[in-house]
C-alpha cells in the first residue's frame, strides 16, 4: 500500500480548565490514505472534534498537543511554527466546520471570502480569482454563481452556506479534507445533495477525507474505514463493510442497538446507561466499563490493549483477548422489552380543518401590505387520543408554524382547530389559558427554551402556577417530584440550573415541564434532532412509555424518517405550506405515492453495510421555493423529475389511494 497522506501516532491533547486538566485525547493513532474517507464516530464529548482541531492546531486557549506526532505527506505538523502552520491550513489540509452560519463572516461577500483563500494559497487575484471562485461554486452546485459571488451569507439557505464552506475548503487544493458534522443541521434532501457533492469532488481530486459524525447512516454512505472514539480513546477501527457486519466493541454494538431504524416491532430501544465520563478523571481500567453490561473485574482494573481481528479490524477490549475466549462467547441477555400498547381510542382528540397562517409583507413608509408569506396554506389533519401523528418535510415547509398555530402561539389566518369538543380558535382570555393545560409543546432546542435563571423545580412549577394546577405549595412540590421520576430525573436534581445538565437531561426537563399540567396533546418540535443516537433512544423510549401509561397524543414534527417509523402511528408529509400525502405509517412509508415523499425516503442514509454501494435513487434537487411566491400549479413541479404540463398549471386535488392513504398528486396511482 502507498504511504499514507496523514499518519497520526500517539496523539495526546490536554486542555487546562477551571475544573482541572482535561485529557481530551489519549494516545490516538490512525492513518488516512489518498482518496480514502476515514469516519470518526462516537457520542458528544468523546474527542472527535478535538481530534480535528489538534490536527489543524486550532485548539482553544489552554489547549496543547501533549504528545505524539501528526505527519502530513511525511511532514511533522507538530514541529512547525505557527507561521509555517498557516501555510498548511487551507493548502495541505482544510476543514469544513459544523455550523456554516457562524463560520462565515457576515460582513464579507461570499466572493471575498473565497478570494481570501485563493490569494493566500494560490496567489490568484482580480479576474483570475473571480473566475476560479465561479468555477468552485459551480463544482459544489450553487446556481448562478456569477451573481451569488456578490451576495452575503445571510442571503443563502443552510444547504447553500454549507456548499460555500466546501468551496472555501477546496479553494486551496488541499490533500486532506476534514468535515466536522457537515450535515447535522440539514434536512435529509439537502444532506443527500451535500454528501453527493463531497463524494464527487473527493473522487475527482483524489483527496483524503476525515468525516466526523454521530450518524451511522452517513458513515455507511460515505466511509471507507471507520474509527470509533470513546472518552478520548480510539477503541475500534475497521473497514466499513466489516464494521457494519460485525461491530466488535460493546460500545459500537450499543450504538447500533439504539437506532430506531426498523425497530418498531421490537419494543424498547436499547440505551446506554449514564454518560461519557469527564475527561478530567484519572482512568485505571476500561473507560467504558461503568456503562458496559459485559464488564467484569479485569475491565475495571486494567486498561485494554489493541487486539487484531479478521478483515483489517482491530479493537481495544478485553473480550477479544485470546485468554478470554470463553467469556467472549457468552452473550448478555437482551434487555429489550415490549412496550404496552398506547391507550388509543376511536376518539378524535385534535381536528384541524383548512388551517392557514399568512404573514403580511409590507413596504414603504406607510407599511402597505404588498403580499403574503403563505407559511401554512390549508392544512387539515386529525389525531386520535393516545396516537402519534408525525409531520415531516424540509425546513421552511411550515411544520413548526402548524404546531404553534394549533396552540395559538401564532394566530391562524383562517381555518379551525378543535381539541375534543372545544373550538380553540373561538377561545380567549381565561378560557384559552385553561385549555392550554390540555395542550403543551416541547421545543427543538431545550437549552434555548429553559429559563437559565430558574432552577429545575421552578421551571416545572411555572406552568402549574400559571394555570392553577395542584393547589397548595406542598401538593405542587409533590407533583414535581413525581413528574421528575416519571421522566427519569432524580428528585435531588430539582435545585440545579439548566446549564448543569447534559442535552438529553435538558430535554427531559422540557418534557417534565410539558407533563406538569397533565396535557392530552403534546406538540413535539424536533425534540431529538440535536441529540446523540444513545440519548435519542432514551427520549424516544420515554415518549413511548408516557403515551402508553398516560394516553397522551403527540403531534411529532421531524425530518428523521427512522424516528417516524419507530414512534408514529400516522404520518403527514408537508411541502410549502400544504399536506401532500398522509395516512398510516405502513401506507405512506410502505407505498409512497407522491414524488416528494419518495425523494425524502430515497435521501435517508441507512445504517447498513450496503449503503455505500450507491443505489441510483432519484433525489430531489434545489431548495424549497419561497412561500411568498409559490410556483403555479403543483408547488413541487419545479423540483419534480416526473412533472407534466398539467402539474405546471393545476394544483392537484387530494385523492384516496387505499384505506386512510390520501395523496395530492396528478400522477398518483
In a domain, 250, yes or no: yes
Share of the chain above pLDDT 90, in %: 57
Q: Which three cell numbers stand for residue 315?
A: 479493537
CA distance 554 to 572: 13
Q: Considering its fold, how many domains does the chain have in total?
A: 3
- Give the pLDDT of residue 197: 87
Neighbours of 39 (CB within 10 A): 26
Share of the chain above pLDDT 70, in %: 94
> Over 80: is that where the pLDDT of 100 sits?
no
CB 56 within 8 A of CB 80: no
In a domain, 343, yes or no: no
CA distance 39 to 35: 13
pLDDT classification of 415: cutoffs 50, 70, 90: very high
> Over 50: is that where the pLDDT of 520 sits?
yes
Q: Are residues 478 and 450 in the same domain?
A: yes
Lowest mean pLDDT among 18-27, 463-472, 532-541, 650-659: 463-472
* Nearest of 82, 168, 183, 184 to residue 120 by alpha carbon: 168
pLDDT classification of 613: cutoffs 50, 70, 90: very low
Q: Which three cell numbers stand for residue 141?
A: 452546485
Q: Are residues 257 and 355 in the same domain?
A: no
pLDDT classification of 614: cutoffs 50, 70, 90: very low
Q: Are residues 13 and 138 in the same domain?
A: no
Instruction: Give the pLDDT mean for 431-453.
Output: 88
- Give the pLDDT of residue 276: 85
- Give the pLDDT of residue 176: 95
Q: Which three cell numbers stand for residue 309?
A: 481481528
Q: Which three cell numbers stand for residue 667?
A: 400522477
More confident residue, 31 or 539: 31
Instruction: Give the pLDDT mean for 539-564.
Output: 90
> Over 50: is that where the pLDDT of 616 sits?
no
pLDDT classification of 382: cutoffs 50, 70, 90: very high
More confident residue, 646 or 98: 646
Q: Are residues 35 and 181 in the same domain?
A: yes
> Over 50: is that where the pLDDT of 485 sits?
yes
Q: Are residues 514 and 649 in the same domain?
A: yes
* Nearest of 171, 196, 199 to residue 186 by alpha carbon: 196
In a domain, 231, yes or no: yes
Q: Are residues 137 and 248 in the same domain?
A: no
CA distance 31 to 400: 44
The owner of cell 415541564 is 513
CA distance 599 to 620: 6
> Over 50: is that where the pLDDT of 562 sits?
yes
Lowest mean pLDDT among 164-178, 352-366, 520-534, 588-602: 520-534
Q: Are residues 77 and 107 in the same domain?
A: no
Q: Which domain, by its residues, includes 154?
A: 100-171
Please provide the average confidence, as pLDDT, over all residues in the chain: 88
CA distance 423 to 342: 26
- Give the pLDDT of residue 482: 87
> Over 80: is that where the pLDDT of 346 sits?
no
In a domain, 521, yes or no: yes
- Give the pLDDT of residue 142: 86
396: domain CATH number? Answer: 3.40.50.300
Complete DSSP assignment for 203-245: HHHT-EEEEEES-HHHHHHH-SEEEEEETTEEEEEEEHHHHHH
pLDDT in tens, 6-60: 999 999 999 998 878 999 999 999 999 999 999 999 988 889 999 999 999 999 8
> Over 70: is that where the pLDDT of 2 sits?
no
> 3-class DSSP state for residue 158?
helix
Q: Are residues 477 and 588 in the same domain?
A: yes
pLDDT classification of 395: cutoffs 50, 70, 90: confident
pLDDT classification of 470: cutoffs 50, 70, 90: low
CA terminus-to-terminus distance, the chain: 53
End residue of a domain, out of 329, 361, 382: 329
Note the pTM of the prediction, 2 decimals: 0.85
- Give the pLDDT of residue 618: 58
pLDDT in tens, 276-316: 888 988 899 999 999 999 999 999 999 999 999 999 999 99
- Give the pLDDT of residue 286: 95
> Over 80: is that where the pLDDT of 327 sits?
no
Q: Are residues 109 and 35 in the same domain?
A: no
> Judging by DSSP bridges, how do beta strands 225-230 and 233-239 pair with one another?
antiparallel
> Over 80: is that where the pLDDT of 451 sits?
yes
The owner of cell 490536554 is 14
- Give the pLDDT of residue 615: 43
Q: Are residues 209 and 269 in the same domain?
A: yes
Complete DSSP assignment for 6-64: EEEEEEEEEEEETTEEEEEEEEEEEEE-TT-EEEEE--TTSSHHHHHHHHHT-PPTTEE
Instruction: Give the pLDDT mean for 313-338.
Output: 76
Instruction: Give the pLDDT mean for 105-131.
Output: 93
End residue of a domain, out of 121, 139, 171: 171
Query: How crowded is the C-beta side of 587, counted as CA atoms within 13 Å?
Result: 17
> Judging by DSSP bridges, how do beta strands 348-363 and 368-384 pair with one another?
antiparallel
CB 394 within 8 A of CB 559: yes
In a domain, 334, yes or no: no
- Best-predicted range by mean pLDDT among 326-330, 461-465, 588-592? 588-592
Instruction: Give the pLDDT mean for 260-275.
Output: 73
In a domain, 290, yes or no: yes
In a domain, 283, yes or no: yes
Q: Are residues 205 and 263 in the same domain?
A: yes
Handedness of CA 446, 452, 456, 458 (dihedral sign): negative
In a domain, 630, yes or no: yes
Q: Are residues 137 and 190 in the same domain?
A: no
Q: Which three cell numbers stand for residue 314?
A: 482491530
> Over 80: is that where the pLDDT of 170 sits?
yes
End residue of a domain, out of 115, 137, 171: 171
What are the angstrom distances between the C-alpha of 183 and each of 28, 40, 198, 573, 607? 25, 14, 11, 22, 16
Amino acid at each position: 500500500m502507498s504511504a499514507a497522506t496523514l499518519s497520526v501516532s500517539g496523539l495526546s491533547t490536554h486542555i487546562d480548565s477551571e475544573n482541572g486538566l482535561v485529557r481530551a485525547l489519549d494516545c490516538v493513532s490512525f492513518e488516512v490514505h489518498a482518496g480514502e474517507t476515514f469516519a470518526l464516530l462516537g457520542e458528544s464529548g468523546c474527542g472527535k472534534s478535538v481530534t480535528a482541531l489538534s490536527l489543524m492546531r486550532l485548539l482553544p486557549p489552554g489547549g496543547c498537543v501533549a504528545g505524539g506526532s501528526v505527519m502530513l505527506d511525511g511532514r511533522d505538523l507538530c514541529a512547525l511554527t505557527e507561521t509555517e502552520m498557516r501555510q498548511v491550513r487551507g493548502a495541505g489540509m482544510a476543514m469544513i466546520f459544523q455550523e456554516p452560519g457562524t463560520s462565515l463572516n457576515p460582513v464579507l461577500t461570499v466572493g471575498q471570502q473565497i478570494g481570501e483563500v485563493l490569494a493566500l494559497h494560490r496567489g490568484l487575484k482580480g479576474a483570475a480569482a473571480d473566475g476560479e471562485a465561479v468555477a468552485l461554486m459551480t463544482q459544489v452546485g450553487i446556481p448562478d454563481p456569477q451573481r451569488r459571488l456578490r451576495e452575503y451569507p445571510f442571503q443563502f439557505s443552510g444547504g447553500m452556506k454549507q456548499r460555500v464552506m466546501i468551496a472555501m475548503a477546496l479553494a486551496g487544493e488541499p490533500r486532506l479534507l476534514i468535515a466536522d458534522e457537515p450535515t447535522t443541521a440539514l434536512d435529509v434532501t439537502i444532506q443527500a445533495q451535500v454528501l453527493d457533492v463531497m463524494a464527487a469532488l473527493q473522487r475527482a481530486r483524489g483527496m483524503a477525507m476525515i468525516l466526523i459524525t454521530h450518524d451511522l447512516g452517513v458513515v455507511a454512505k460515505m466511509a471507507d474505514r471507520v474509527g470509533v472514539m470513546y472518552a478520548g480513546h480510539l477503541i475500534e477501527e475497521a473497514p466499513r463493510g466489516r464494521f457494519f457486519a460485525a461491530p466488535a466493541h460493546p460500545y459500537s454494538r450499543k450504538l447500533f442497538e439504539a437506532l430506531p431504524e426498523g425497530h418498531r416491532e421490537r419494543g424498547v430501544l436499547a440505551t446506554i446507561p449514564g454518560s461519557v465520563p469527564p475527561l478530567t478523571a484519572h482512568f485505571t481500567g476500561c473507560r467504558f466499563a461503568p456503562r458496559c453490561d459485559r464488564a467484569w473485574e479485569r475491565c475495571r482494573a486494567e486498561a485494554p490493549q489493541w487486539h487484531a481481528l479478521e478483515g483489517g479490524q482491530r479493537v481495544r477490549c478485553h473480550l477479544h483477548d485470546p485468554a478470554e475466549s470463553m467469556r467472549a462467547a457468552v452473550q448478555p441477555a437482551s434487555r429489550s422489552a415490549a412496550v404496552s400498547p398506547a391507550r388509543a381510542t376511536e376518539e378524535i382528540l385534535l381536528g384541524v380543518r383548512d388551517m392557514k397562517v399568512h404573514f403580511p409583507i409590507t413596504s414603504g413608509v406607510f407599511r402597505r401590505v404588498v403580499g403574503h408569506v403563505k407559511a401554512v396554506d390549508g392544512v387539515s389533519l386529525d389525531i386520535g387520543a393516545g396516537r402519534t401523528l408525525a409531520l415531516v418535510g424540509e425546513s421552511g415547509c411550515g411544520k413548526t408554524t402548524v404546531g404553534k398555530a394549533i396552540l395559538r402561539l401564532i394566530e391562524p389566518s383562517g381555518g379551525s382547530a378543535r381539541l375534543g369538543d372545544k373550538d380553540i380558535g373561538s377561545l380567549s382570555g381565561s378560557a384559552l389559558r385553561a385549555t392550554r393545560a390540555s395542550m403543551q409543546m416541547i421545543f427543538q432546542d431545550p437549552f434555548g427554551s429553559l429559563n437559565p435563571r430558574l432552577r429545575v423545580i421552578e421551571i416545572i412549577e411555572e406552568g402549574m402556577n400559571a394555570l392553577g394546577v395542584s393547589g397548595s405549595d406542598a401538593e405542587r412540590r409533590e407533583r414535581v417530584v413525581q413528574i421528575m421520576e416519571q421522566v427519569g430525573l432524580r428528585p435531588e436534581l430539582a435545585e440545579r440550573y439548566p446549564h448543569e445538565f447534559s442535552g438529553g437531561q435538558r430535554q427531559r426537563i422540557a418534557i417534565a415541564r410539558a407533563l406538569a399540567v397533565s396535557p392530552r396533546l403534546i406538540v413535539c418540535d424536533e425534540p431529538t434532532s440535536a441529540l446523540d443516537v444513545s440519548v435519542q433512544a432514551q427520549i424516544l423510549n420515554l415518549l413511548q412509555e408516557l403515551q402508553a401509561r398516560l394516553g397522551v397524543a403527540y403531534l411529532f414534527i421531524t425530518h428523521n424518517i427512522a424516528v417516524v417509523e419507530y414512534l408514529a402511528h400516522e404520518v403527514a408529509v408537508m411541502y410549502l405550506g400544504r399536506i401532500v400525502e398522509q395516512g398510516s405509517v405502513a401506507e405512506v412509508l410502505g407505498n409512497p405515492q407522491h414524488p416528494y415523499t419518495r425523494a425524502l425516503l430515497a435521501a435517508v442514509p441507512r445504517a447498513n453495510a450496503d449503503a455505500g454501494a450507491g443505489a441510483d435513487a432519484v433525489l430531489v434537487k434545489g431548495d424549497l421555493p419561497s412561500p411568498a411566491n409559490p410556483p403555479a400549479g403543483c408547488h413541487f413541479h419545479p423540483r419534480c423529475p416526473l412533472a407534466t404540463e398539467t402539474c405546471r398549471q393545476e394544483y392537484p386535488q387530494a385523492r384516496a389511494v387505499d384505506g386512510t392513504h390520501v395523496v395530492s398528486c396528478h400522477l398518483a396511482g
